[in-house]
Structure 1
């Protein structure tokens, strides 16, 4: 049927995976393989990369990563950036280029999910039902376990989101909000998970996730807080507008959430272990003039902090 929607299907090397499961076998055609597959630690984000490769080829007729040998292709996938300067790219829309770039981000944390791709301005269609995005639950879990200071920082960042960036969050909130009253509860989330979750999701750590949201037993979450809880800092950081987002968010944080804090109190808020040399690690996070969080500290706080990540940074 010439009028049917184009579909690309290849289940030859497919497998069922749980949301918290990682694979380590190097499989797939070299041109389409994601960087994390070559690092032997990957999950469903690798499929999104492959979609990005296909979209790149469909738009310009050439492969984003090319070499004469398989090992050369792998090196290109790991090190090279796809070209967007040669024809026909200059004549294509900025939305088309943004779509492909966000699928071909080498960092899987910054790459769009499949649900987010369906919400992208270049291809979004009112006839397409956006599926529930498991990333939303991971982000909400991290938010609920965050300190009050990090929650305030995330709220400030969420207020800088554009209409297009809010679109996917609105779609996800609608899946969790059956009564359309502007708020969601723990019961709403449980019901939505059971209704929309795949078998793999149900077999994974769903109960562990729900336990992390127990605070919502006693209150409801509105859309404004949901945006703070469900936004991905890593994905925003991959955008060209990230610096503008971060600066605007910091200005809001200065007015609404920033406060004087000593290093030991900040370390306690971050849940750092006593073995971390907090004064050496965190001294740049606090302004010496008034003892409040600096812009550097604000950005690092947005990403969330662990003793492991601080140890790597030293």
Structure 2
């Protein structure tokens, strides 16, 4: 819906004692064979470079937990081993010093077609310069255009060796990266794509050259902490481009400071998102299950292998936490420890500088680092958060969660619609601001009403080829095909209210109680169990009716507060299968 709602940094002396050497691989964990200690004062790049092969993190030590019947005597297995296996199957054998995925057994499929249909004769169009960086599955060099519209222009060329494309999935990843860049190029905060070439050895992706360096370098140069105003400026740019990607059905899956570049050394110049090598398409009603990304930024639902665009929002929450306090919210010396912290630990907001920061800043970060993805802010909601309201660069985009919520509302029972209308009446002015923005983007007519077809019409102006490839367009067409009367602003607020996101707020209990009072006055009435089951679309069965008895007050047969809250969440026959 729409709602607006660590460890201390090392001293400069400690920072100089453990410098980051950009010329070598900075191991995330203690190397058992060399005895080297981590070189990161408070932050490190992706741990997937060389930690898997020799790292003890692939196994989990047994804790001294007493054996208990019906309980696991050991902690759950580390996802690190599964990530290694998944990435090895996905990309085949890749040397750890050439990419950030683990080395594995050779698994190349003989006879793979590694032709992409890209332009030829790269060397006749560009003079290749020095290497400027390495990514997941390739490396990037500077280059200068020799002919055409880019003649004399400095560009960046990402080179993807075909020899490293050891599986069909790796080939498809490379093709998808180019397609996504080509479809999304043009956004102010996304690196501009110019062309793609290929020869027998490599794929060459020609892009805008950003000369300002990585956001990571700027974080380190500041000693690891930004003021609230400076952090706002960076996060607004990050959220703007991520909201744009999510609307197109593209999830980045590897958002981290290394993957944002400044176009100039001056931080007032735009920040650009790069490296879509791990990106994928996802429909609003689909979930991805492959585990990819960088350990410090991976979300809990990625480790549970069921996620969507919300995973990117978690990563932005980690970046926001780092920018504001200079330390990582989840830290350990091993991959296993990092993943356990992500799944179980809560980030600290008690140590300096958090007590001195604004309550809105803390609420903003907490809204992104909610372990329940259903309660996490979307990119458009984050841009509407009170902490960022008024920032000059905020560009609110259509939010695909609105489509999901309105679709669910239309398909809900009349009783649930009344309950949601009561809940919407409890929203604050700040919480309604986001919904008003979304309502306006949907293009209400002169009478202040929107039709369901408006959902399709409004999104066409933002549509790209990526939206078709992700099949988001199909989902929008499905929503637009539903038959329903026109919605005014009041009913739209009821339809676009996310109960789960409200639950994640401190004011939830008060919202629910106030909503129940409105419901008591306007919509609550005596109701039989059979009528309630029919209203909810449940087939008559004894177990269901036994459960529904708890929903009704025995005194007057009206819906109880417990039943009201459960009704707000929506139910189906599947809800009761475990009863």
> Do Structure 1 and Structure 2 share a fold, with TM-score over 0.5?
yes
Normalised by the size of structure 2, how large is the TM-score?
0.52
CA displacement 1:20-60 (0-9 Å, x = unmatched): 33221111111100001001111111000000000001111
Match of 2:326 in 1: 61
Q: Distance in 1 between matches of 2:416 and 2:428?
A: 21
Q: Distance in 1 between matches of 2:474 and 2:538?
A: 28
Q: Distance in 2 between matches of 1:174 and 1:66?
A: 42
Q: Does the 8 Å CA contact 1:264/1:278 hold for their aligned counterparts?
A: no
Q: Does 1:79 align with 2:344?
A: yes
- CA deviation after TM superposition for structure 1 residue 309, in Å: 1.6
- Compared CA separation, residues 193 and 8, structure 1 to 2 (3 A): closer
Q: Tell me the SS of whatever aligns to 2:577.
A: helix
Q: Distance in 2 between matches of 1:38 and 1:172?
A: 32
- CA deviation after TM superposition for structure 1 residue 87, in Å: 0.9
How many residues matched?
A: 309
Q: Which has the higher helix share?
A: 1
More displaced 10-residue stretch of structure 1: 120-129 or 255-264 = 120-129
Q: Distance in 2 between matches of 1:310 and 1:232?
A: 22
Q: Tell me the SS of whatever aligns to 1:215.
A: coil
Q: Does 1:167 align with 2:437?
A: no
Q: Distance in 2 between matches of 1:289 and 1:142?
A: 32
Match of 1:43 in 2: 308
Gaps of 5+ in 1: none
Q: Give 1:110-259 correspondences, 5 Å limit.
A: 110-124=375-389, 125=391, 127-179=393-445, 181-197=447-463, 198-199=467-468, 200-211=470-481, 213-216=482-485, 220-259=486-525
Q: Does the 8 Å CA contact 1:19/1:204 hold for their aligned counterparts?
A: no
Match of 2:277 in 1: 12
- Compared CA separation, residues 116 and 44, structure 1 to 2 (3 A): same
- CA deviation after TM superposition for structure 1 residue 123, in Å: 1.2
- CA deviation after TM superposition for structure 1 residue 277, in Å: 1.7
- CA deviation after TM superposition for structure 1 residue 138, in Å: 0.7
Q: Does the 8 Å CA contact 1:156/1:249 hold for their aligned counterparts?
A: yes
- Compared CA separation, residues 46 and 309, structure 1 to 2 (3 A): same
Q: Distance in 1 between matches of 2:555 and 2:344?
A: 42
CA displacement 1:94-114 (0-9 Å, x = unmatched): 100111111011111111111
Q: Does the 8 Å CA contact 2:456/2:477 hold for their aligned counterparts?
A: no
Q: Distance in 2 between matches of 1:276 and 1:130?
A: 48
Q: Give 1:291-306 correspondences, 5 Å limit.
A: 291-306=557-572
Bigger radius of gyration: 2
Q: Distance in 2 between matches of 1:309 and 1:295?
A: 19
Match of 1:70 in 2: 335
Q: Distance in 2 between matches of 1:30 and 1:180?
A: 50
- CA deviation after TM superposition for structure 1 residue 196, in Å: 3.1
More displaced 10-residue stretch of structure 1: 222-231 or 171-180 = 171-180
Q: Which has the higher strand share?
A: 2
Q: Does the 8 Å CA contact 2:368/2:377 hold for their aligned counterparts?
A: yes
Q: Distance in 2 between matches of 1:161 and 1:201?
A: 33
Q: Distance in 2 between matches of 1:261 and 1:178?
A: 36
- CA deviation after TM superposition for structure 1 residue 201, in Å: 5.0
Q: Distance in 2 between matches of 1:224 and 1:75?
A: 43
- CA deviation after TM superposition for structure 1 residue 179, in Å: 3.6
Q: Tell me the SS of whatever aligns to 2:553.
A: coil
Q: Distance in 2 between matches of 1:29 and 1:188?
A: 39
Q: Does 1:96 align with 2:361?
A: yes
Q: Does the 8 Å CA contact 2:287/2:307 hold for their aligned counterparts?
A: yes
Normalised by the size of structure 1, how large is the TM-score?
0.93
Q: Does the 8 Å CA contact 1:20/1:204 hold for their aligned counterparts?
A: no
Q: Tell me the SS of whatever aligns to 2:509.
A: helix
Q: Tell me the SS of whatever aligns to 2:317.
A: helix
CA RMSD of aligned residues (A): 1.7
- CA deviation after TM superposition for structure 1 residue 202, in Å: 4.3
Match of 1:2 in 2: 267
Match of 1:106 in 2: 371
Q: Give 1:264-279 correspondences, 5 Å limit.
A: 264-275=530-541, 277-279=543-545
Q: Does the 8 Å CA contact 2:454/2:480 hold for their aligned counterparts?
A: no
Match of 1:30 in 2: 295
Q: Distance in 1 between matches of 2:542 and 2:387?
A: 46
